[in-house]
Structure 1
Amino acid sequence: MLEPSPSQPSASERQPEVKGTDPKTVSGSTHQPSSFSSHPLLNPLVYTDSFVDRHIGPRDSDLDQMLAAIDFDSLEALMDAAIPRGIRLRKPLRLEAGKAEYELLAALKELAQENHVFRSFIGMGYSNCITPPVIQRNILENPGWYTQYTPYQPEIAQGRLEALLNFQTMVTDLTGLEIANASLLDEATAAAEAMAMSYGVSKTKANAFWVSEACHPQTIAVVQTRARPLGIEVLVGDHRTFQFDQPVFGVLLQYPATDGAIYDYRAFCDRAHAAGALVTVAADLLSLTLLVPPGEFGADIAIGNTQRFGVPLGYGGPHAAYFATKDAFKRQLPGRLVGVSKDVHGSPALRLALQTREQHIRRDKATSNICTAQVLLAIVASMYAVYHGPQGLRRIGDRVHQLTVILAEGLRRLGYAPSAEPFFDTLRVTVPNGKAPEVIRRAHSHKINLRQLDAHTFTISLDETVSSDDLLALFQVFAGAEVTHFTPEDLLAASSRSLLPASLLRSTPYLTHPVFNAYHSETELLRYLHRLESKDLSLTTAMIPLGSCTMKLNATAEMLPITWAEFGQIHPFAPLDQTHGYQALFGQLEHWLAEITGFAGISLQPNAGSQGEYTGLLVIRQYHEKRGEAHRNICLIPQSAHGTNPASAVMAGLKVVAVACDRDGNIDVADLKAKAEQHRDNLAALMVTYPSTHGVFEEGIQAMCECIHANGGQVYMDGANLNAQVGLCRPGDFGADVCHLNLHKTFCIPHGGGGPGMGPIGVAAHLLPFLPKHPIVSVGGKQGIGAVSAAPWGSSSILPISWMYIALMGAEGLTKATQVAILNANYIAKRLEGHYPVLYKGKNSLVAHECILDLRQFKKTAEIEVDDIAKRLIDYGFHPPTVSWPVAGTIMVEPTESESKQEIDRFCDAMIAIRAEIRAIEEGTVDRQNNLLKQAPHTAAALLTDHWDRPYTREQAAYPTAWTRDNKFWAAVGRIDQAYGDRNLVCTCLPMEAYES
């Protein structure tokens, strides 16, 4: 948490600027001749390579041309015309100048080396693991995988959809349940989602959820946080003594328990079901290669973390959680679900299934606000299973268990008494009274971290990276001065292969599908990964011009540090004195984000934009409660808001009241004032996106904030569109009390095909005391809300990406990036307005950083739907813009600052060419059903046929431009039949013959 410093004025003290900053220092619109002789004498003591020029696409000469096209002579003049005068910054951001990539990587390396990589045997749901190099290099470090967007356009996302289908199959096989989603944020939030789902489907009238005290403490904490605003009572106890004497709608068990013990839960599950409760089991996925799966002993839901399947510890994330359940609950399953359907040619094709379950459809009726998964990490975990196969995973599980058996035998010989319960990879060990400090001291001297449960009890959790040397070091830690007269090899010869009773051993097969049995050599896996990658359009192929989902450059220099051992191999609960580098990075990043947004403090804990929304609302709720106004429960939300807004409000225990928009797409200020005054006694908050969801800088934003404050409420700002504000205006200055920041948009963390994300929140000074806490590490405010994520700083290992971006750009670079993003959007709007109406414009007929093109007319004039235009854009080599949101029948275009004028012109040319194709239909020269748009996208298989009965040529279909002839990206499948897939729901891998046919 960042406390205000005496040298930094608060947001209220900083006055908005009227005319903006000096264009000579910020706008970058002045153009210098490029001849060598014109260059000034360079200072040899300063790096000359500018990252800002690498990040921002248009060159200075391009900027001049684009400005001229929209009738402005400078970027600064455009900003003055586009952004309300009253909210402009008076001075530039107080950040250091941007650095060169080489020098900044060296500086970050020094910072990283302040982290000390100990061997952590802490467990608690996190294990060190081996990321196969072929997966690390070709997925985790590959922009062809990490720059993909959420697979809402499935025809150009078949590769990652197949990888996610593998993930779902892996989870269902190992858990013994029937259906699984494509990942959630972390184990703790997955447990909370299970509680919410159980509450929704339970047929009892119970209002209590029972949680085993043997669950991981961070999981218990997040469940308690999520339960409180919903009025759910959380009961924590011992499953061995709980008799269901109090009605509960659901229970949560840990398998194995947090201290390593493995319990036979069959009888408990029977009692739970007899009482009408659903059973959720948080299970270690690797242990299920040996143990009876939850689905076979009575679980209705299984959740957990797939981190140990090849995903680095990363000081807590990002990691992919899993969620599996029975087929009967498929329509209540939270998160995304990949399903099998077919395309227009009858071939199997994958897409996101049952999207009507999701919050963007259900809005305030949603039971979850999940809008992001952990796709990239789920793909890593699934490929770990593909690479090792069932036998390989079983060997890893057997080895980890046998190492733990050896450890137990060695500790017994040293006079210690490990726990009597069966175990998989974790031992509970009791030490004599007063000996614990000695054990801790010796562990530290060996660079070992243990988990201490109490004054005389430790747990030791082993993993696949453990070696004979690690066991020797552990024995020395517990032996002290005593000489050990045995070696791990001696113990191996003398110990049992397994200490697991037969009643707990798994007997059913898993991962029997050919995909898990065909790619065990690196050659084969490499080719499989490349085949899948080639089916997906990423930023390595073309611009992804998605409105409200900024898809800017994720620079290689920003990405490099995430796989450094100093960031990747740190346990989230390692002692703070081992993580000084991380702490320094967090502090700097919080300070920078506070300066950029105008807020007094930042919490980095929320690990998704949806989590940030939820966290911000809980902070507001806590603020009202502590002031004796807990009755404030009304949340005003514009009708144009993203679906996660109302979903988050309901989850935070608030009642949603919709605010109308006027015919220009702006919030109806009169309606907002009327409803704020109507509900003034109970008004909690306004949720508002700025610039608006319609891509406009609304003039009335300050008046709206003042109205909410005058009626006792707080202003929550959705930070989805912060890319149009950085360096030009600040939410904390013009009235917002809290704002979540999508680091995976504005601050360059890549989307990873639908996750990871990070959604930290910034808050005004009066909300600092209420920032989220954590049960293991001291963070947050004195009166803070409970934990919202499993790890104290969310997905820590990807925060260096945003740190690098801000430090590389500096104040001037960040400001110029925002200016160019706004210019690019207005340039597109200007070039296309004669062909497609721009639906909403702000002051001076300008848009912000995105624009909405109205395509609704073509349904009447040519029977062309918005999807037809989107799919035809694929033939031109583009990912379609955001389709039918926030207005049905439109597309929302956001070019970002990273795209060059050449690429932007190529997009505009494609849209203009498509308009000509529509005009041919309107004029009757082309059939209304059999045409280039209705048949798009065109696959190679559809074109390479002997029979061709279409009224256009194959060349028109495949190569509409010269660029496509040289750089063709082929859709892997034809247009997909979405309804067929929902009617015939299949969410696990098909047999290979289905694809062969």
Structure 2
Amino acid sequence: MSEHRPTLIELEQRTAFIRRHIGPDPAQIAQMLELTGAASLDDLIDRAVPDAIRATMPPLPMESMNERETIGYLRQMRERNRIFISMIGMGYYGTIMPAVIKRNVLENPGWYTAYTPYQAEVSQGRLEALLNFQQMVMDLTAMEIANASLLDEATAAAEAMAMARRVGKNPGSVFFVDSDCHPQTLAVVRTRAEPLGLTIVTGDPYRDFEASGAFGVLVQYPGSSGSIRSLEPIAEAAHRHQALLCVATDLLALTLLKPPGEMGADIVVGSSQRFGVPMGYGGPHAAFFATRDAYKRSTPGRIIGVSVDSHGRPALRMALQTREQHIRREKATSNICTAEALPAILASFYAVYHGPQGLRTIARRVQRMTAILAEGLRRLGFEVLTETFFDTITVRVPGQARRIAARARESRINLRLVDADHLGISFDETTQRHELTALWRVFATRSEATLDIDALDAEVEPALADGLLRAGDFLSHPVFNIHHSETELLRYVRRLAARDIALDRAMIPLGSCTMKLNATTEMLPVTYHQFASVHPFAPLDQTQGYQQLFEELEEMLCAITGFDAFSLQPNAGSQGEYAGLLVIRAYHRSRGEAQRDVCLIPASAHGTNPASAAMAGFKVVVVACDENGNVSVADLEAKAAEYGDRLAALMITYPSTHGVFEAAIVDICAIVHRHGGQVYMDGANLNALVGICQPAQIGADVSHINLHKTFCIPHGGGGPGMGPIGVRRHLAPFLPDHPVVEGVNPAAAGKATIGTVSAAPWGSASILTISWAYIVMMGAAGLTRATQVAILNANYVAARLAPHYPILYTGKNGLVAHECIIDLRHLKASSGITVDDVAKRLVDYGFHAPTMSFPVPDTLMIEPTESEDRRELDRFCDAMIAIRHEIAEIERGEADRENNVLKHAPHTQALLVAERWDRPYSKQRACFPLTDPQVDKYWPPVGRIDNLHGDRNLVCTCPPLAAYADD
């Protein structure tokens, strides 16, 4: 039978999504090409991209689907996932996301297309939601400070270990881990410890800790088995030996239990997943990290703090930015860059909606149902080993565990198979009373056995001792007590979203961050029940839809990049960097070359690169860049020769962080290989390569891909992200595995892998549907077209701005790649204007600022992406040109160097209506510089924020409601 040839109508349908994703239409493309001097898109690519890296690009074997076909295909895929009642626990629980939060936050582009709140004046809404998250964590843990989320509970525990070593006074190298910790947490901690030269000892901390000499101890509270013990004895023992107590805990349990902070904990971590966030086969979920105030400057991740604006009013910002990797590089406290902002925001709204009483009610119901089951099983003759519990019990069933677990699956219930003699059972918010009856029948050996739930409910005693119960209030701040009706929460959510600039309002021209369209059709599968409700440790025969998704996505990524294998486990770009370097390290050690410990990194590299290299146990050696911003080949050659058989790897970003295609990249890779090293390519800028060339063919051995950049997973106000790594065949056996789910790395074949880098086997699996849908709907032609237009848009912006601002670096034929850097360094001397002043003035024009002072101080890095059409690009360029004219007025002496429209920017609505106006420029010019007052004007909710005040007077808790009285 001959192959069906698509009709013209079918071809039009298939390319319709491409037309919607790519901003400029053919007429606009022609006009923009004329300004760049190129005759066509192909001509532009020929002129911009070095010939050496394009010669080996094979055609991508992918045809596009239209949106309807894609949704139908995904429907078939998701139906291959069978949704059972999950009683597995282990840190993942069924939960109910309130519909008002699902519709108005998770599915609202005003929330999911926002960027990390580095520009605080245009981020006050998401900053307030994240501050609520911090307050929630601090209240429930009783700790003095908390961050605004980490990647997952396991990596948060690894960060706790690293911080305990950093700030503690015990000089030892042993870290003690409670044997009742979740196995995935122990696995990630082990992976993190080994390259740092730390030893992990496991056991019962109440019995074995003191003899270990450990600098820190990690205790699970409640334990993975469900057992709850007071933390006070182990806290006393730890502090007696100058060690730090780290506690992994459960926020819902802490609504009833005595919090770790009241029992001497130094660091408290955990997951906020069960606060309304779906399991999603592993993520994304926001971890939390809370600690003592004394350790605030060593805390990993982002901390939201309260400062004041130029009018003396409260304003929020990210605090203590000197901890960021871009500043401290290999001396950074962590390589964490992406957080889990959107899941943290969801969890915070869940707490706001339910309030303290609602959360207590949910927790008491979960605990009560667990107690009823425990008593029922005892009456059936089973031994319930867990005496004090919240939601989880361990049952001893000698030799029967597999049989009972199989019977449970027949009733569509998944239990935790601990070993041949023990089963774990966990209840959650979604557990219903009839499921108790079904579970009773699974365990009952007599068919006539029945469970009288009401009778047991009246008889069972609470399973929590008085000494373990929480005393006193929590979540007493008004924000958690006034938004309990849907009307109130709906208005609160809208009020916060209106304070921010996200992609639903204007382009976000951030260099190195790729803020492109996150199409609605791509986002739909995230909330599908068959994708959202799967436990990450569910039996593989129940997750065949997900396995198909992984297989197809890996095949597509291999075709795009030229790599032979992928691991989807790293759940952030920083985790991908770390995992990729560990793979290189393991490869060298497998060949008997453990002495290879030097990682060469160009001076222009992303700050996470040196931080990741240091975490992976490498010595960082910086390679110089030349006057054009390219890697100095001579310096690279000299350092590769100098370190000889110690050379492990080169980390390089391509196109470079300076926004150019380096012509010497093939030679650079060859130099490293000639000296026995491996090439790690940072995939941050892969969106300038897709369909044009392949990293593996250029010479890369391993690369991570920021799916939240190139492949359309939205930034969500600072996360989630995904950072899968692709490798050449010789590195595939070392890719991550998992202690709970077998077959995560099929290439391992008995070889020692790097271990586990994320809590879930396939990372934040549910958002992989977004990238899969994007690639499928774009197809080979669309992906290539997107790359071409991204490069066109960047060169169009550069061409329009070049007469007004110097373009710092260009490549072949004076062209840039997908982003350009404009140089503002000379403006400070000529006018007193700084890069900050320009960024804040852009707010008055309705724009989020480009990337500031990275990778070069006092510059702006602009990346327009392929999703912005010419009208929006011109609107942005017009704003930048108008600002340059405003600066010129200062340079000519027509405006005062200190009292001018840039120094006072941004201008709030309160200023517009103020009776007193004593500035030497008009209100019209301040607030409506290029816009008609009738258009959708963005009003910054605060004036310019005083960062220094915020760091000197660090406040990371919700201000009293009176502080917002003027809003």
Question: Could you tell me how far apart the structure 1 residues matched to 2:98 and 2:810 are?
Answer: 50
Match of 2:469 among 500, 505, 518: 505
Residues 1:638 and 2:602 aligned together? yes
Counterpart in the other structure of 1:696? 660
Q: Which amino acid aligns with 1:118?
A: F
Name whichever of 85-94 and 340-349 sits farther off.
85-94
Q: What is the DSSP-based 3-state SS (H/G/I as helix, E as strand, rest coil) of the residue aligned with 1:50?
A: helix
- Give the alignment's TM-score, normalised by structure 2: 0.98
Q: What is the DSSP-based 3-state SS (H/G/I as helix, E as strand, rest coil) of the residue aligned with 2:247?
A: strand
Match of 1:822 among 778, 791, 799: 791
Query: Deviations for 1:730-771, whole angstroms, at most 9, x for unmatched residues?
Result: 110010000000000000000000000000000011101110
Match of 1:65 among 31, 36, 42: 31
Counterpart in the other structure of 2:800? 831
Question: Could you tell me how far apart the structure 1 residues matched to 2:672 and 2:797 are?
Answer: 35
Task: Give the conservation status (yes or no) of the 8 Å contact 2:56–2:693.
Answer: no
Question: Could you tell me how far apart the structure 2 residues matched to 1:686 and 1:461 are?
Answer: 46
Residues 1:717 and 2:681 aligned together? yes
Residues 1:494 and 2:463 aligned together? no
Counterpart in the other structure of 2:179? 213
Counterpart in the other structure of 2:3? none
Question: Could you tell me how far apart the structure 2 residues matched to 1:744 and 1:62 are?
Answer: 27
Name whichever of 903-912 and 483-492 sits farther off.
483-492
Task: Give the conservation status (yes or no) of the 8 Å contact 2:401–2:419.
Answer: no
Residues 1:425 and 2:402 aligned together? no
Q: CA deviation at 1:45?
A: 9.7
Q: What is the DSSP-based 3-state SS (H/G/I as helix, E as strand, rest coil) of the residue aligned with 1:169?
A: helix
Q: What is the DSSP-based 3-state SS (H/G/I as helix, E as strand, rest coil) of the residue aligned with 2:307?
A: strand
Q: CA deviation at 1:92?
A: 5.0
Residues 1:908 and 2:877 aligned together? yes
Counterpart in the other structure of 1:323? 289
Residues 1:97 and 2:66 aligned together? no
Q: CA deviation at 1:140?
A: 0.7
Q: How does 1:205-284 map to 2 (within 5 A)?
A: 205-284=171-250
- Give the alignment's TM-score, normalised by structure 1: 0.95
Counterpart in the other structure of 1:291? 257
Question: Could you tell me how far apart the structure 2 residues matched to 1:148 and 1:480 are?
Answer: 55
Query: Deviations for 1:9-45, whole angstroms, at most 9, x for unmatched residues?
Result: xxxxxxxxxxxxxxxxxxxxxxxxxxxxxxx984479
Residues 1:314 and 2:283 aligned together? no
Question: Could you tell me how far apart the structure 2 residues matched to 1:939 and 1:337 are?
Answer: 25
Give the unaligned 5+ runs of structure 2. Answer: 1-5
Give the unaligned 5+ runs of structure 1. Answer: 1-39
Question: Could you tell me how far apart the structure 2 residues matched to 1:949 and 1:240 are?
Answer: 68
Q: What is the DSSP-based 3-state SS (H/G/I as helix, E as strand, rest coil) of the residue aligned with 1:582?
A: helix
Residues 1:359 and 2:359 aligned together? no
Residues 1:847 and 2:808 aligned together? no
Q: What is the DSSP-based 3-state SS (H/G/I as helix, E as strand, rest coil) of the residue aligned with 2:206?
A: coil
Query: Deviations for 1:895-934, whole angstroms, at most 9, x for unmatched residues?
Result: 0000011100111111111111111111111111111111
Counterpart in the other structure of 2:438? 473
Task: Give the conservation status (yes or no) of the 8 Å contact 1:93–1:596.
Answer: no
Task: Give the conservation status (yes or no) of the 8 Å contact 2:57–2:694.
Answer: no
Match of 1:446 among 411, 433, 452: 411
Task: Give the conservation status (yes or no) of the 8 Å contact 1:774–1:786.
Answer: yes
Q: CA deviation at 1:482?
A: 2.5
Q: How does 1:81-96 map to 2 (within 5 A)?
A: 81-90=47-56, 92-96=58-62
Question: Could you tell me how far apart the structure 2 residues matched to 1:503 and 1:968 are?
Answer: 56
Match of 2:500 among 536, 539, 543: 536
Match of 1:990 among 956, 959, 962: 959
Residues 1:705 and 2:669 aligned together? yes
Q: Which amino acid aligns with 2:809?
A: Y
RMSD: 1.3
Q: Which amino acid aligns with 1:635?
A: C
Residues 1:195 and 2:164 aligned together? no
Counterpart in the other structure of 1:917? 886
Question: Could you tell me how far apart the structure 2 residues matched to 1:98 and 1:42 are?
Answer: 14
Q: What is the DSSP-based 3-state SS (H/G/I as helix, E as strand, rest coil) of the residue aligned with 1:331?
A: helix
Question: Could you tell me how far apart the structure 2 residues matched to 1:281 and 1:44 are?
Answer: 57
Query: Deviations for 1:73-96, whole angstroms, at most 9, x for unmatched residues?
Result: 110011111111011155553332
Q: Which amino acid aligns with 1:489?
A: D
Q: What is the DSSP-based 3-state SS (H/G/I as helix, E as strand, rest coil) of the residue aligned with 1:622?
A: helix
Task: Give the conservation status (yes or no) of the 8 Å contact 1:959–1:965.
Answer: no
Question: Could you tell me how far apart the structure 1 residues matched to 2:101 and 2:643 are?
Answer: 54
Q: Which amino acid aligns with 2:703?
A: C
Question: Could you tell me how far apart the structure 2 residues matched to 1:939 and 1:236 are?
Answer: 56
Residues 1:171 and 2:137 aligned together? yes
State, as a whole percentage, how many aligned pairs show the same letter.
62
Q: Which amino acid aligns with 1:678?
A: E
Change (3 A) 1:614 1:49: closer
Task: Give the conservation status (yes or no) of the 8 Å contact 2:738–2:756.
Answer: yes
Name whichever of 633-642 and 358-367 sits farther off.
358-367
Q: How does 1:849-868 map to 2 (within 5 A)?
A: 849-868=818-837
Residues 1:626 and 2:590 aligned together? yes
Residues 1:870 and 2:846 aligned together? no
Q: CA deviation at 1:46?
A: 7.7
Question: Could you tell me how far apart the structure 2 residues matched to 1:895 and 1:161 are?
Answer: 25
Match of 2:723 among 756, 759, 770: 759
Counterpart in the other structure of 1:13? none
Task: Give the conservation status (yes or no) of the 8 Å contact 2:15–2:64.
Answer: no
Match of 2:427 among 462, 482, 497: 462
Question: Could you tell me how far apart the structure 1 residues matched to 2:934 and 2:871 are?
Answer: 17
Counterpart in the other structure of 1:385? 351
Match of 1:160 among 111, 126, 140: 126
Q: How does 1:548-627 map to 2 (within 5 A)?
A: 548-627=512-591
Change (3 A) 1:935 1:770: same
Q: Which amino acid aligns with 1:58?
A: P
Q: Which amino acid aligns with 2:213?
A: P
Q: What is the DSSP-based 3-state SS (H/G/I as helix, E as strand, rest coil) of the residue aligned with 2:935?
A: helix
Counterpart in the other structure of 2:450? 485
Q: CA deviation at 1:243?
A: 4.6
Q: How does 1:649-668 map to 2 (within 5 A)?
A: 649-668=613-632
Query: Deviations for 1:868-900, whole angstroms, at most 9, x for unmatched residues?
Result: 111111111111100011111100000000001
Question: Could you tell me how far apart the structure 2 residues matched to 1:847 and 1:68 are?
Answer: 16
Counterpart in the other structure of 2:491? 527
Task: Give the conservation status (yes or no) of the 8 Å contact 1:129–1:309.
Answer: yes
Q: CA deviation at 1:777?
A: 1.1
Match of 2:854 among 875, 882, 885: 885
Counterpart in the other structure of 1:345? 311
Query: Deviations for 1:182-232, whole angstroms, at most 9, x for unmatched residues?
Result: 000000000000000000011121111000100000000000000000000
Question: Could you tell me how far apart the structure 2 residues matched to 1:216 and 1:89 are?
Answer: 49
Question: Could you tell me how far apart the structure 2 residues matched to 1:930 and 1:596 are?
Answer: 53
Match of 1:771 among 703, 715, 735: 735
Q: CA deviation at 1:600?
A: 0.5
Task: Give the conservation status (yes or no) of the 8 Å contact 1:562–1:800.
Answer: yes
Q: CA deviation at 1:469?
A: 1.2
Match of 2:82 among 116, 121, 128: 116
Counterpart in the other structure of 1:670? 634
Counterpart in the other structure of 1:969? 938
Q: What is the DSSP-based 3-state SS (H/G/I as helix, E as strand, rest coil) of the residue aligned with 2:211?
A: coil
Query: Deviations for 1:606-663, whole angstroms, at most 9, x for unmatched residues?
Result: 0000000000000000000010001100010011111100000000000000111111
How many aligned residue pairs are there? Answer: 956
Q: Which amino acid aligns with 1:487?
A: D
Question: Could you tell me how far apart the structure 2 residues matched to 1:860 and 1:375 are?
Answer: 38
Q: CA deviation at 1:435?
A: 2.7
Q: CA deviation at 1:495?
A: 2.0
Q: Which amino acid aligns with 2:216?
A: G
Question: Could you tell me how far apart the structure 2 residues matched to 1:933 and 1:524 are?
Answer: 38
Name whichever of 800-809 and 486-495 sits farther off.
486-495
Query: Deviations for 1:648-683, whole angstroms, at most 9, x for unmatched residues?
Result: 000000000011111111111100110010001200
Q: CA deviation at 1:49?
A: 6.1
Q: CA deviation at 1:728?
A: 0.2
Name whichever of 229-238 and 413-422 sits farther off.
413-422
Counterpart in the other structure of 1:3? none
Counterpart in the other structure of 1:14? none
